[in-house]
């Protein structure tokens, strides 16, 4: 998942004026996307339908069809970000810290990578990565040691405590993500994943 929290849908995709203040508060997100929450109701219309109708009335000269897809993607990304932060807060992790631990955990035993590789995997600068590693090492979740293959290099390794922390946070995150997707059955989720893959594929090579 990795950079499991990477934001692939920047706010600039949709102008601010068509994104109403209907973001779920963090405490509400914890309840709404918790196990057993009812996320399966399917209204005939939503706020995106209303804004698209309004833009078609006000700007009939424009094709506002893309808003029907991307406005919903943007809203979903924001709600997902809130749910993720609620999950990570339970384990005293920032989103970026989780990304680092997740990258190490995914790499397999001995769960060790260079800072440069971690920065690449989590799409951050080397300076940002250094700050994250400082905090994680202070909390006993990673260690840093000289790279035996490069005297000038460093290897970052997940500790047992770090592995336990990231495993627990990931389990919580997946539970919340399953709740968000509960309105779709398995075949609908597979179709949506395939369609989103078509949209994101061109950006993966950038």
The whole-number average pLDDT for the span 74-84 is 93
The residue length of the chain stands at: 206
The whole-number average pLDDT for the span 32-59 is 75
Q: Rounded to whole angstroms, how far apart are CA atoms 148 and 166?
A: 26
Alpha carbon separation from 193 to 161, 164, 176, 196 (Å, rounded): 33, 29, 17, 5
Q: Rounded to whole angstroms, how far apart are CA atoms 14 and 158?
A: 39
Q: What is the pLDDT of residues 108-149, one digit of tens each?
A: 999 999 999 999 999 999 999 999 999 999 999 999 999 988
Torsion angles phi and psi, residue 148, rounded to 5? -65, -20
With contact defined as beta carbons under 8 Å apart, do 56 and 79 qualify?
no
Q: Rounded to whole angstroms, how far apart are CA atoms 39 and 136?
A: 35
The DSSP output letter for 25 is: P
């Amino acid at each position: 998942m990795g950079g499991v929290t990477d934001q692939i849908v920047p706010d600039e995709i949709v102008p601010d004026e068509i994104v109403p203040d209907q973001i779920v508060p963090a405490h509400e997100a914890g309840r709404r996307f918790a196990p057993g929450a009812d996320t399966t109701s399917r209204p005939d219309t939503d706020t995106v339908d209303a804004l698209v109708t309004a833009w078609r009335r006000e700007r009939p000269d424009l094709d506002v069809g893309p808003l029907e897809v991307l406005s919903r993607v943007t809203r979903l990304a924001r709600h997902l970000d809130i749910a993720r932060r609620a999950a990570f807060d339970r384990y005293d992790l920032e989103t970026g810290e989780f990304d680092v631990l997740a990258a190490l955990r995914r790499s397999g035993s001995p769960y060790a990578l260079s800072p440069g590789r971690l920065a690449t995997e989590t799409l951050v600068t080397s300076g940002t990565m250094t700050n994250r590693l400082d905090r994680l090492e202070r909390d006993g979740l990673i260690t840093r040691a000289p790279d035996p293959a490069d005297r000038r290099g460093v290897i970052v390794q997940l500790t047992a405590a770090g592995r336990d922390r990231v495993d627990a946070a990931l389990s919580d995150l997946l539970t919340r993500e399953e709740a968000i997707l509960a309105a779709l059955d398995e075949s609908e989720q597979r179709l949506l994943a395939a369609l989103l893959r078509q949209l994101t594929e061109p950006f993966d090579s950038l």
